[in-house]
Amino acid sequence: MTTRKAPSKTRPTLRTIYGEPSWRIATKDVEAFLTQRAGHLGPITFNVGGKKIKPMSVAWEKPIKERTLPPILQVLRGDFFCMPFGGNATPFGKEKYPVHGETANSKWKFVDLQQSRAGATFTAELAIKARPGSVRKQITLMKDHPAVYQRHTISGMSGPMNPGHHAMLKFPDVPNCGRISTSPFVFGQTYVEPVEHPEALGYTCLKPGAIIKSLDKVETVFGDTTDLSRYPARRGYEDIVMLVADDSLPFAWTAVAFPQQGYVWFALKDPRVLRETILWISNGGRHMSPWSSKHVNVMGLEEVTSYFHVGLAESAKDNHIRQMGYPTTLTLDRQKPTNVNYIMAVAPIGKDFDEVATIEPTANGVSLIAKSGSRTAVPIDLAFLQAG
């Protein structure tokens, strides 16, 4: 009889990565750094197909000197958990939150790092002040999986909340090299007001409030249409789009294929927990500090339950998305913790793999199927999305 070796518990040393003290979580397949301040997960390196792929954006490679900026803008990188998601300029009752919430701005407390032959799980925790309660962050890397598994457990709170993940990809500086696609959505729309204003040194390309039936044909302010499924594009503009996922699907997905670069990045979620996808298209359209028109070729592919990027007050009220029957908040229960599960992964592809048409479950994970018919199999624990 053999006994399985118990996971070892260690306390990782904080390393300064792009100016921020960060914890390292790693296996042979993935290396990730989590900032202690604000809990941003990045940079992330995926070891796939004999290559080291770093798809996530790091906004500032040198520490930002404008200390009057909120922590989220000083740290800005990779992916982070928002609660509540959005600008939150309007208080929700007596609750006042910073941009994207305390979870994206405050200092996280290390709890545990367990490592074994099966992988590694890092745990941190944050006490929330605006609405007393806590959020537990678990980041898991599994052996032979080119993926990052994240679970955020919200405890001790009741009432409406609009959580979300804020993953940001940095695209190569090659026009239209990335092919963006999603699982079927039941409604799509550009933000109902201009995202930026010239008098504030910002510029928007997409027509406010335009209904989206397909990403490849979206109305602009110039009277024509543009293709949002190809990026980088529209240099000099900042835009935001929201897509409502089909909650009858067992899981929903967002993907970006890079045929010339030889990889695909994709994210998986439970659409009954994270109903919408926000596309934040950031390509030099902000000329004010700290952006200074230099934040280019970045797209946020953000999985949320929220009314666009505005905040909790607007998400909780009777907005037009809610009137259509689509939720823009979750209802938290103080007696029952809420788990928000999310997976992102990278897989190698050939040049014949044009863009992801669908993602299907398999016995050992998922199969990414291209419009061209090409396929790539990826080991993924799909059960994670409903676990907990």
The answer as to whether 260 is a domain residue is yes
Task: Give which of 144, 137, 23 is closest to 82, Cα–Cα.
Answer: 137
- For residue 356, the enclosing domain spans 8-386
Report the C-alpha gap between 150 and 32 in whole angstroms: 12
Q: Please check whether residue 266 is in contact with residue 377, taking contact to mean a CB–CB distance below 8 angstroms.
A: no
Q: Cα 122 from chain centroid? A: 19
> Residue 76 sits in a domain of what CATH number?
2.70.98.10
What's residue 7's pLDDT?
A: 61
What pTM value is reported for the model?
A: 0.96
3 state SS for the chain: CCCCCCCEECCCCCEEECCEEEEEEECCCEEEEEECECCCEEEEEEEECCEEECCECECCCCCCCCCCCCHHHHHCECECEEECCCCCCCCECCECCCCCEHHHCCECEEEEEEEECCEEEEEEEEEECCCCEEEEEEEEEECCCCEEEEEEEEECCCEEECCEECEEEECCCCCCCEEEEECCEEEEEECCCCCCCHHHCECCCECCCCECCCCCCEEECCCCEECCCEECCCCCEEEEEEEEECCCCCCEEEEEEECCCCEEEEEEECCCCCCEEEEEEEEECECCCCCCCCCCCEEEEEEECCCCCCCHHHHHCCCHHHHCCCCCCEEEECCECEEEEEEEEEEECCCCCCCEEEEEECCCEEEEEECCCCEEEEECCHHHHHCC
- The number of domains in the chain is 1
Phi, psi of 321 (to 5 degrees): -70, -45
The answer as to whether 138 is a domain residue is yes
Q: Please check whether residue 155 is in contact with residue 337, taking contact to mean a CB–CB distance below 8 angstroms.
A: yes
What's residue 148's pLDDT?
A: 98
What's residue 2's pLDDT?
A: 46
The answer as to whether 2 is a domain residue is no
What's residue 10's pLDDT?
A: 78
What's residue 67's pLDDT?
A: 79
The answer as to whether 239 is a domain residue is yes
Per-residue pLDDT of the chain (388 residues; tens, 9 = 90+): 444 555 666 788 899 999 999 999 999 999 999 999 999 999 999 999 899 999 999 999 988 878 789 999 999 999 999 999 999 999 999 999 999 999 999 999 999 999 999 999 999 999 999 999 999 999 999 999 999 999 999 999 999 999 999 999 999 999 999 999 999 999 999 999 999 999 999 999 999 999 999 999 999 999 999 999 999 999 999 999 999 999 999 999 999 999 999 999 999 999 999 999 999 999 999 999 999 999 999 999 999 999 999 999 999 999 999 999 999 999 999 999 999 999 999 999 999 999 999 999 999 999 999 999 999 999 999 999 998 7
The answer as to whether 1 is a domain residue is no
Burial class (CB in 10 A: 0-12, 13-18, 19+), 288: exposed
Report the C-alpha gap between 44 and 78 in whole angstroms: 7
The answer as to whether 258 is a domain residue is yes
Report the C-alpha gap between 380 and 15 in whole angstroms: 29
**102: Cα within 13 Å, side-chain hemisphere:** 18
What's residue 8's pLDDT?
A: 63
The answer as to whether 251 is a domain residue is yes
Strand partners, 345: 147, 266
The answer as to whether 327 is a domain residue is yes
